[in-house]
């Protein structure tokens, strides 16, 4: 069955570093994390406005209400028979993400094993285009599109 998934992600930058999380592993194989840094965010519900989705996801995972700025990136990719669209929004209140207490969130402890402001030049961050992003220009350039579709993949 072909499916399409829409997700939203928060790009939160401070002092040349990007706020990222490592997720808990839901596979039940005993490992603690998936090991890769990603930005905060997740799946938008069907019919949910993207701005509402990014606000909800950030609050669920961090307990911080984001100040959402411009749309920065759109990524489209396929994995098996699923097409995913991800919308990356600039969150401008980075200072509010310095002291997070995951125990005061609705999803943080369940989903997140680690969080930090990480240097994209020194850490493995997904998607990889975030390693090359000029964090000093966030919100000042046109939206960038990344397409990783594989035609005929099932």
- Per residue in 42-64, pLDDT tens? 999 999 999 999 999 999 999 99
Residues of the chain with confidence (pLDDT) below 70: 1-2, 25-34, 149-154
Return the pLDDT at 27.
Answer: 52
Which backbone phi and psi does 141 adopt, to 5 degrees? -115, 160
Which backbone phi and psi does 7 adopt, to 5 degrees? -130, 160
Architecture, CATH, for domain 3-132+142-148: Alpha-Beta Complex (3.90)
Contact 37, 1 (CB under 8 A): no
């Amino acid at each position: 069955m072909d499916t399409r998934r829409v997700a939203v992600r928060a790009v939160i930058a401070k002092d040349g570093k990007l706020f990222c999380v490592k997720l808990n592993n839901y596979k039940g194989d005993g490992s603690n994390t998936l090991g890769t840094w990603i930005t905060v965010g997740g799946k938008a519900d069907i019919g949910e406005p993207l701005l509402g989705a990014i606000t909800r996801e950030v609050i669920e995972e961090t307990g911080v209400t984001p100040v959402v700025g411009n749309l920065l990136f759109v990524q489209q990719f396929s994995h098996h028979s699923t097409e995913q669209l991800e919308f990356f929004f600039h969150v401008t209140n980075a200072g509010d993400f310095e002291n997070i207490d995951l125990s005061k969130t609705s999803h943080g402890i369940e989903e997140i094993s680690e969080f930090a402001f990480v240097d994209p030049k020194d850490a493995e961050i997904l998607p990889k285009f975030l390693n090359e992003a000029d964090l000093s220009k966030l919100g000042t350039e046109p939206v960038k599109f990344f397409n990783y579709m594989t035609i005929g993949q099932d």
